[in-house]
Amino acid sequence: SYDLTQPPSVSVSPGQTASITCSGDKLGDKYACWYQQKPGQSPVLVIYQDTKRPSGIPERFSGSNSGNTATLTISGTQAMDEADYYCQAWDSRTYVFGTGTKVTVL
């Protein structure tokens, strides 16, 4: 089976940049997307097709994907960005989620 690995936690100060990685074998050959999930809420798509932002998602969210790693970057992080983040990709007829990263804004 295909695995996507994320760091369990990332801490960032308000206004600084948070980078969340997602590692998988030849992930750069696939399209990655990212979801934000706040406590008690449903996930929200924040990045799709590696770099695209859905309507309504702030410009401070950006994505990249190359080699074995996809990265979600939050520039000028705000307190409201504190949440769990999951990457996701399609492999061998299966959708796979990453292990999830808790972003704490200190």
Partner 1 sequence: QVQLVQSGAEVKKPGASVKVSCKASGYTFSSYGITWVRQAPGQGLEWMGWINSYNGNTNYGQQFQDRVTMTTDTSTSTADMELTSLRSDDTAVYYCARVNQAFNDGEVIYGYFDYWGRGTPVTVSS
Q: What residues between 55 and 84 interact with partner 1 by CB under 8 A?
A: none
Q: How far is the CB of 89 from partner 1 (least distance, A)?
A: 8
Q: Which stretch binds partner 1 (CB under 8 A): 9-17, 57-65, 72-80, 94-102?
A: 94-102
33 belongs to the binding site for partner 1 (CB under 8 A): yes
96 belongs to the binding site for partner 1 (CB under 8 A): yes
100 belongs to the binding site for partner 1 (CB under 8 A): yes
**Which residues touch 11 (CB under 8 Å, ≥6 apart)?**
103, 104, 105, 106
**Which residues touch 104 (CB under 8 Å, ≥6 apart)?**
9, 10, 11, 12, 82
Instruction: Name the DSSP class of 25.
Output: T
The structure tokens listed for 58 are 């702030």
Helices assigned H by DSSP within the chain: none
Between 17 and 97, whose beta carbon lies closer to partner 1? 97
The structure tokens listed for 94 are 């299966």
Task: Please give the residue ranges that form the binding site for partner 1 (CB under 8 A).
Answer: 1, 30-31, 33, 35, 37, 42-45, 48-49, 54, 86, 88-90, 93-100
